[in-house]
Each structure stands twice: as structure tokens, then as C-alpha cells.
Amino acid sequence: MAVTREQLVEDFERPSLLRRLSWFDGAWALLLVLGSGYAYRLYHPYMDAYEVAIQAAATLALIAWGWYWKPVRGLTLAVAALSLFALWRYGGSLATAQTDFFLKYLLASQQAFMWMSALYVFATLAYTLMMFTGSAFVGRTATALTWSATAMGLAGLMVRWRESYLMGTDIGHIPVSNLYEVFILFAVITALLYLYHEGRAATRTMGTFVLLVISASVGFLLWYTFDREAYHIQPLVPALQSYWMKIHVPANFIGYGAFAFAAMLGVAAILAQPRPLAPERRRVVLPLAAAGFVVAGALLAAGLSAGDAGFGATLDAWAMLPATVALLFVVAACQGRLAAQLPAPALIDDMMYKAIALGFAAFTVATILGALWAAEAWGGYWSWDPKETWALIVWLNYAGWLHLRLTKGLRGTPMAWWAVIGLFVTAFAFLGVNMFLSGLHSYGTL
């Protein structure tokens, strides 16, 4: 997308960030500094020098984030209020969660995650309804549901952090240590990326697509919760007992969230090309889609009722195939109508580029941090472990995407397809390696 002379002049004449700050921005910074100081006063006996440095850097980053993106202030205050209220209700006993109304039904970490899951699913349905009805009220409701789900997810992570220490100081750790916790982190980060672009682009029509991948992660989370009972807090394995985990994992999932966001923008970019299906073909496609959903529902029901957990999980996995095919049939039938509702392809393309650029930068930082962590834990920066190898494949995939975009100016449908395929590559690096391969990262297996 070319930059016009007017845009260059506007950017040049725009006041610097410091000149744009108001007294409220100063109050925001002061509030965070005081809150961070209070947290340090309470928990510094459990912190080493590295963790103090991480806390200071996180405080400064949150101040800058609030200055740059104003809506995140309200989210931060809501998460802080919910978390502090939950910690107050807990007192010093984890058993309080069984008797206290607010903890039992709302703010204990597991309950907060269930509310998050339900709200994300409702937000997905609301965005879809908005796309087909054009209702501004439904659109505002969908946005509010997404913000609410994100607040509950973040508050749940904060409360889970405290719950781990209530179990014992030797057990306490930041909640980014297993698949259950990082799936929540992935959903929250992806939602925040979407909400930022929704506000900047002043359009909600992308929510249908982005919330789909978040709902898919919620579906996996629910299966992982009830089929594998993964919600229990466990002590860290020795390899994870490091300050590196506190920065490596969040950076990694900023990358994963950005790549997922870009992939769903790629789906939207493909659908933005108006290719309506002929009526005679639609009469064939829609019954096939209905049949696919019926088969998927039958397999899913059989999997949920299966006595053997492994057999049930296999049936649930097979249910994804007819469901995916059915969804593709529905998309093909509705493509012409969807194209009229979506933003201009150039806007989608620009958002997709920015998302991949952010994800690539975060993933690069995470890979470097992972190498430093590996050198400390295992004595070498790189060992061609399956997880490391697939991380390199993901990095090369998006490096190639950005190279062709920046040097050759490639845009449009081919790059959109590349972003979509990139999500499958990323998903295998994230989950597939844990499921099918073994290595130094085997502590993350399903």
C-alpha cells in the first residue's frame, strides 16, 4: 500500500508522544508505579534479581501500552479489581474457594476460565449475527463480550498465579507452564490483537473470523480440561524452574496469536473476492454441508460418551474432518454475500501485514530467549530438538512471507493463502510436535 504525500506530512507534523500526554496519562503512570511498588513490597521475599528486573520492565511496558492504546487502561483496571477482590476473598487459604460464593461461581481461576470460554463463544455468535444482519447494537454487544471474556481470562491467570503459591511456595509459579495455561494466554492475546485493529480500522466485520480461531482454542481447552483434567496446578518440572520462562513463553505466544490473527484475516481476504456460487450449485453444496455437520456431531457425541478416553479423543479428532469440509461448503455458498460485508481487500491486506510483522518480531525475540534458556539448562544454544526445528521452520516461513511482501510487493490472494497455510505450520510447531514427536520439550506432551 503506497504512502501518500499527505500522510507523510501528517506524520511529520504530528506532535511527539510526550507532547500528546495529558494529566490523565501521568496519573495512569503514577497509578501503575504505585501498584507495582505495592506488589513488590508484598512479594519481594519470593523474587530474585531477575524477577525484579522483569517486574520493572513489565511496569514500564504497561505504562507505554496504556499511553499508546487508551482502551487497555480500562481493561487493566478491571483485571486488577477482579484479581484483588479474588485474592482478598481467598485470604490465606485455598479451601475458601469451596465455600465463598464469589470464588465458587465467578472468580476462582477455573471458574473465571469457564466464564471466559462461554463469553468468547457468545461473542463469536454475536459477530456472526452482526455480519448477516448489519445490526450496530449486536456489533457493540459482540465487542463488549470480547472485552469481558478477555478480562475474565486475564483475571483468571492472575488468580491462578496466587493459587499456586497458596498451595506452597515451592509450587508457586507464573501460569504459563503447560498447555492448559498457554491456551488461555493464546486466546487472550489473539483477542487483544483483534480488539486493537477493530478500533483502529473502525470495523467489526473481521470479528466473525478471528473469534472463530479463539473459539476453536476454547474448544480444545474444554476438552483438555474435562477429558485430561489438566486444570490442576502441578509443581514445575526442573527444566521450567527458570526466570527465562517468564519472558520466553509470553513472547512466543504474542507470535502465535499474531500469526493466528493474520491467518483469519487471510481467510477474510480470500472471501473478500466476490465469487458468488451459482444457484444450481448451491442446491448441491448446502445439503452436503448439512450432512458434514451431522456426521461431525455424531462423531463428537460418540467421542464424548466413549468409555475409553483415548478412543473418545480419537473420535473427537475425526469429527474435525467432516466439520471442516462442511464449513468450507458453507463458505463457498455464502462467499458472494460475505464479500459485500467485508472491508476493502487493501485494508485487510494491510492489517495482515502488520500482524505478521509483529508476530515475526515477537517470535524472533522468543527464539533468541529460548536459545539462551537452552544454553543455561542444557549446555547448548541449539540441539535440533523437534520443537526447535519446527520453530525454525515457522520462522523461515514468515521470514519468506515478509521478504516477498517487502522486496517484491506481493499482495492479495496468494499472500492470504500463504498466511492461512502458515497457521497450520505454526499449529504443528505448537501442538503437533507435542503430540507426535519427542525430545527435550517432552514435558509439554498431550
Mean pLDDT by 10 residues, the chain (446 residues): 49 62 90 93 83 91 94 95 94 89 92 94 92 89 97 96 89 87 94 95 89 89 76 82 86 94 90 62 58 59 55 51 56 62 85 96 94 83 83 94 92 90 89 68 55
Instruction: Quote the CA–CA distance of 87 and 80 in Å, as a whole number.
Output: 10
Task: Determine, yes or no, domain membership for 78.
Answer: no
Percentages of the chain per state (helix, strand, coil), in multiples of 5: 80, 0, 20
Task: Determine, yes or no, domain membership for 412.
Answer: no
Per DSSP, the residues of 261-291 read HHHHHHHHHHHTS--PPPHHHHHHHHHHHHH
Q: Is 342 helix (H, G, I), strand (E, B) or coil?
A: coil
Helices 345-378, 244-271: axis angle to 10 degrees equals 160
* Contact (Cβ atoms closer than 8 angstroms) between residue 108 and residue 159: yes
Share of the chain above pLDDT 70, in %: 77
CB atoms within 10 A of CB 357: 17
Q: What is the pLDDT of residue 3?
A: 46
The three cell numbers of residue 249 are 513463553
The H-or-E segment that residue 422 falls in is helix 413-427
Q: What is the pLDDT of residue 157?
A: 96
* Contact (Cβ atoms closer than 8 angstroms) between residue 391 and residue 349: no
Instruction: Quote the CA–CA distance of 268 and 142 in Å, as a whole number.
Output: 18
CA-based nearest residue to 111, from 156, 66, 142: 156
Count CA atoms closer than 13 A to 231's CA, side-chain side.
19
CB atoms within 10 A of CB 114: 20
Task: Determine, yes or no, domain membership for 400.
Answer: no
Total domains present in the chain: 1
Instruction: Quote the CA–CA distance of 207 and 202 in Å, as a whole number.
Output: 12
* Contact (Cβ atoms closer than 8 angstroms) between residue 42 and residue 165: no
CB atoms within 10 A of CB 49: 8
Positive/negative CA dihedral, 411, 193, 265, 246: positive
The pLDDT tens digits of the residues spanning 336-390 come to 566 667 788 888 999 999 999 999 999 999 999 988 888 887 777 878 888 888 8
Instruction: Quote the CA–CA distance of 429 and 432 in Å, as a whole number.
Output: 6
Count CA atoms closer than 13 A to 227's CA, side-chain side.
21
Instruction: Quote the CA–CA distance of 142 and 207 in Å, as a whole number.
Output: 8
Task: Determine, yes or no, domain membership for 367.
Answer: no
Q: What is the pLDDT of residue 285?
A: 54
CA-based nearest residue to 112, from 163, 160, 156, 176: 156
Residue 314's domain spans which residues?
276-334
CA-based nearest residue to 214, from 153, 169, 158, 161: 153
Positive/negative CA dihedral, 349, 354, 359, 364: positive
The Cα diameter of the chain in Å comes to: 71
Instruction: Quote the CA–CA distance of 143 and 262 in Å, as a whole number.
Output: 19
Instruction: Quote the CA–CA distance of 117 and 435 in Å, as a whole number.
Output: 24
Go through the chain and tell me how many residues it has.
446
Task: Determine, yes or no, domain membership for 317.
Answer: yes
The three cell numbers of residue 260 are 493466528
**Residue 340 DSSP symbol:** H
The three cell numbers of residue 89 are 476473598
Task: Determine, yes or no, domain membership for 438.
Answer: no
Task: Determine, yes or no, domain membership for 107.
Answer: no
Instruction: Quote the CA–CA distance of 437 and 425 in Å, as a whole number.
Output: 15
CB atoms within 10 A of CB 366: 22
The three cell numbers of residue 203 are 470495523
Task: Determine, yes or no, domain membership for 328.
Answer: yes
